[in-house]
Chain A
Amino acid sequence: MSDLIRKDASELAGLVSSGEVSAVEVAQAHLDRIAAVDGAVHAFLHVDTKGALASAAAVDVKVKAGDKLSVLAGVPLGLKDILATNGLPTTCGSKVLAGWIPPYDATVVTKLREAGIVILGKTNMDEFAMGSSTEHSAFGPTHNPWDLERIPGGSGGGSSACVSAFEAPLAIGTDTGGSIRQPAAVTGSVGVKPTYGGVSRYGLVALASSLDQAGPCARNVLDTALLHSVIAGYDPMDSTSINSPVPDVISAAKRGDIKGMKVGVVKELGGEGYQAGVRSRFDESVALIESLGAQVVEVSCPSFPAALAAYYLILPSEASSNLAKFDGIRFGNRVGDDGTKSVEQVMSETRAAGFGPEVIRRIILGTYALSAGYYDAYYGQAQKVRTLIKQDFDAAFAKVDVLISPTAPTTAFKIGEKLDDPLAMYLNDVATIPVNMAGLPGMSLPIGLAPEDNLPVGLQIIAPAMADDRLYNVGAAIERELLAKWGGPILGLAPELAGA
């Protein structure tokens, strides 16, 4: 197996632009890796060998011509299957979209293509991004490269797994309540949910419009920042996108200096319900941050305990409306149209057959929450909680520069372990959800393995809106110390995958 697959994205970009290695060689090395290990990992739903090699070849032409290249030209990437790709299947992990080929590219995809990033294929996910384990994919679960019997997190388990299994140095995820950060935490990779509005949602198939945000996944802080800088920026096609300059995340990732910063530990995100090894690694990080010259204080966010409940009203409400379009009339799978049935029957059968149980559960929940007579008690009340959460964050950021917490309460659990207990599954996102509710940027950074199970633990860093650069500055400072302590990336400790 080529050693190209173990290299960082920034290193690969340098090799390609200098002409030392061709982009086609880089792409082929990763396609070979996918062929070798993805049978076991199942990070990809669709591998676009032809398209990947063609776009790599196009980068090589530019290299030969001496054209100026973008920072990640020629670097391969796994794309979560929730972003529309012109000419490539986009299923959202659902049978209802099996066979659908979008006629257009999401804005994020356009930016990736323009940057010469090589899209290897579409990565697995919980159906319509509903889940924390990727077990709710209609096309079978993804397996955690650290232990194939365990989940890779979710909903973006395919993206985190492809990065940590060395199938791609970069991936795009989307995060509605933690779907980038929690998978990053349980796979020992880095993931960032940018400020809401920082990255265009145009072409991102909506789960909950007011919470969804696409973001970068990689194996280190700098690569994550480079990818962040490629996909971020104002887009007139997305009315909620923010029309102001992208925070300078690359400089921040190179700086890594937190001397004199104020760091807040969120009192409500920790303690009871958090695995002992998660807590001990988190406490070590706090000590490390202090040792780097930052001041750590405890901050209370009293509304956070209500966040999960409010989230599970707002998300299903928006989702019930967003997912109404999947009716088999205009695109995707149509079920039951034998010429004898009414259009309502065909729509109904299409939806019943096309959606999995978790999607149906949330559509029903949301439909109920928006119903006349219940709206105020559920959706209306949840919006008030959302306002309180924002106020908690505002108050906290009046005192500190960034907030920290464990990303997830536990390390990766076993496949099947929580499948029949939706509430236990939902609790995985207890620490990440408040960030989406307030539209803030958040990062998950690997901070070691839990002693009891030798599985990765993530640190969540949270910054104020449009201060995404702070995540990278803090992340880089901690990462530098940990790499020195571990003697290399934590993924080097992961077991070698069979077939490789």
Chain B
Amino acid sequence: MAEAVMNYDEAISKFDPVLGLEVHVELGTHTKMFCGCSTVFGAAPNTHVCPVCLGLPGALPALNKIGVESAIRIGLALNCEIAQWCRFARKNYFYPDMPKNFQTSQYDEPIAFEGYLDVDIDTDEGRKTFRVPIERAHMEEDTGKNSHVGGATGRIHGADYSLVDYNRAGIPLIEIVTKPITGTGKYAPEVAKAYVAALRDILRGLGVSDVKMEQGSLRCDVNLSLRETPESKLGTRSETKNVNSLRSVERAVRYEVTRHAARLTAGDSIVQETRHWHEDTGISTSGRPKSDAEDYRYFPEPDLLPIAPSREWVEELRAALPENPAVRRARLVADWGLSEIDMNTVVNSGALNLIVEAVSAGVEPAAARKWWTGELSRIANDRGLEIDDVPVTPADLKRLEELISSGALNDKLARQALEGLVSGEGDIDAIVKARGLAVVSDDGPLLAAIDKALAADPAVAETIKSGKLAAAGSVVGAVMKATRGQADAARVRELLFEKLGVSE
């Protein structure tokens, strides 16, 4: 049942939204947080399990050091303080997807706390920076996954039976929690989306997670409340779960604003509850009621030692952090002389790092960008490859560009050479040789081809002579076709004009 909503602009004119975002990131460690089981996604159910992650009687956790290192690096990248000393805690509640019926998490002693992330969004007054305050980033383990069989909704209600897959149980998670985000006004949806996008870029840059929202390696819960004015006290919040794309983050905030506003205006109160987001219909529905009195009986995990990262280690990790993606982006825009729109194309292609690598190998930025966002993106798309998996190295691109600038290859032939590369036909030079890719530089065959083209369309010579130089295109095209693309189009044009006695 869809609930009543109010027009967004009207809602914003009446209320001030306050956001809170909780993001869970699955770390890309090879093994789980407390055991040696694989973390690879998509294995047959209950095959990546052992006594530890199944919580069998007697089994004990042993901490994954890479998990801790990743948590510290994430904390540093989010401008957090790193705890001198912290502990895990047990969060106790019964649920079949939790093998031990407690989750090993962190409670009042998170590994990272008090940070922020600046995000830029377009506003009516131009591009503007919002600072999102971060309360904490803490380590915990993921739960297993329930699937409910039978029944209409795939939910537990009405299901015939339920299955549990514990492959995911024990995969390291970092939960990143913002403080209440205020002062966004009508831009709350955009700020939320920009925050998650910026966070995703940072995590990808750190190499700590594959941050695939659709596979659940980055999951976002959206908390939202409305208050009458920025001076009023915080209103009751709802927590929307399952918001699994950037677009949904924006839509979910927008939807909750309109839903809260309608309720509040009608004199209804907001129920503090967990809500489920539905990507298809763009609405959320009520889940379980949640109260602050929910008692997880947290206490320090006695099976694990406290973690006291040395300051030397923390500083080492800080020094080795990659450049902040937003800062780097600004730098590259300036270095490469791009517009923001061009940069968006680059970032959206997923090839930013590949282009940076090509440029550092000596390829001109414009050329590297052209190949990666153009031909190579197309090839990846046609062949169902991730752009990162396209087997073209910076050295390949550099050689290709050398051949183009020497005139040995033209654009069309270069594209064929790339096809050859991706098909595994050897290196650029071998492909050029094997496929016979070479610009025809001898004028003889070109003149013969020009004559043939002019003979086939007798009127065109006169048209060109009369000054309509654009008509030359059809002749050049015919010559290129006749030489199977191996002619230098500029030379053909030159020869044609010479022959007809016209000058450009």
Interface range, A side? 35 or more
> Does A424 lie at the interface of the complex (its beta carbon under 8 Å from any beta carbon of B)?
no
Residues of A within 8 A of B51 (CB): 84, 102-104
**Bitwise interface map of A from 80 to 99 toward B, beta carbon under 8 Å scored 1, else 0:** 00011000001010000100
Q: Which residues of A contact B92 (CB under 8 A)?
A: 320-321, 324, 370
Task: Quote the shortest CB–CB distance from A13 to chain B (angstroms).
Answer: 28
Q: Is A379 an interface residue (CB 8 A)?
A: yes
Instruction: Judge whether B101 and A204 touch: CB under 8 Å.
Output: no
Given contacts A325-B99, A327-B101, contact A347 B94 (CB under 8 A): yes
> Is A330 within 8 A of B54, CB to CB?
yes
A contacts, CB < 8 Å to B: 83-84, 90, 92, 97, 100, 102-104, 106, 201-206, 208-210, 236-240, 317-318, 320-321, 324-327, 329-331, 343-344, 347, 367, 370-372, 375, 379
How near does chain B come to A198, taking the closest CB pair, in angstroms?
Answer: 15
Q: Which residues of B contact A (CB under 8 A)?
A: 51, 54-63, 90, 92, 94, 96, 99-102, 162, 164, 293, 295, 297-299, 302-305
Q: A202-B59, A239-B63 are in contact. Are A321 and B305 (CB under 8 A)?
A: no
Task: From the candidates A97, A239, A317, name the one contacting B60 in the complex (CB within 8 A).
Answer: A239
| CB of A127, distance to nearest CB on chain B (Å) | 13
* Pairwise interchain contact B63-A371, C-beta atoms closer than 8 A: no
Residue of A with least CB distance to B50: A104
Cβ contact within 8 Å between A331 and B57? yes
With A240-B303, A372-B293, A372-B295 known as contacts, the answer to whether A204 contacts B58 (CB < 8 A) is yes
Closest chain B residue to A238, Cβ basis: B60
Residue of A nearest to B88 (CB): A239
A379 to B302 CA separation, bound complex (whole angstroms): 13
Among A324, A371, A372, which residue has the most Cβ atoms of chain B within 10 A? A324
Q: Which residues of A contact B297 (CB under 8 A)?
A: 320-321, 367, 370-372, 375
Within 8 Å CB of B305, what residues of A? 239-240
- A321-B92, A325-B100 known; A90 and B57 CB under 8 Å? yes
- Cβ-defined contact, B299 with A317, below 8 A: yes
Residues of B within 8 A of A343 (CB): 96, 162
30 A-B pairs, CB-CB below 8 angstroms? A84-B58, A90-B57, A92-B57, A97-B57, A100-B57, A102-B56, A104-B56, A201-B60, A202-B59, A202-B60, A203-B59, A208-B302, A210-B302, A236-B62, A237-B62, A238-B60, A239-B304, A239-B305, A318-B302, A321-B297, A324-B100, A324-B102, A326-B57, A327-B101, A370-B298, A370-B299, A371-B295, A372-B297, A375-B299, A379-B299
Contact yes or no, A325 B101, CB < 8 A: yes
CB-CB < 8 A to A375: which residues of B?
297, 299
Of B55, B58, B303, the residue contacting A203 (CB under 8 A) is B58
Q: For the complex, what is the distance from the CA of A201 to the CA of B55, rounded to whole Å?
A: 14
A210–B304 CA distance with the chains assembled, in angstroms: 10
Residues of A within 8 A of B299 (CB): 317-318, 321, 370, 375, 379
Please determine whether A330 and B58 come into contact, CB atoms closer than 8 angstroms: no
Give the CA-CA distance A237 to B304 in the complex, in Å: 11
Measured CB to CB, the closest approach of chain B to A369, in angstroms, equals 9
Docked pose: A118 CA to B305 CA in angstroms: 34
Among B54, B56, B92, the one with the most A-chain Cβ atoms within 10 Å of its Cβ is B56
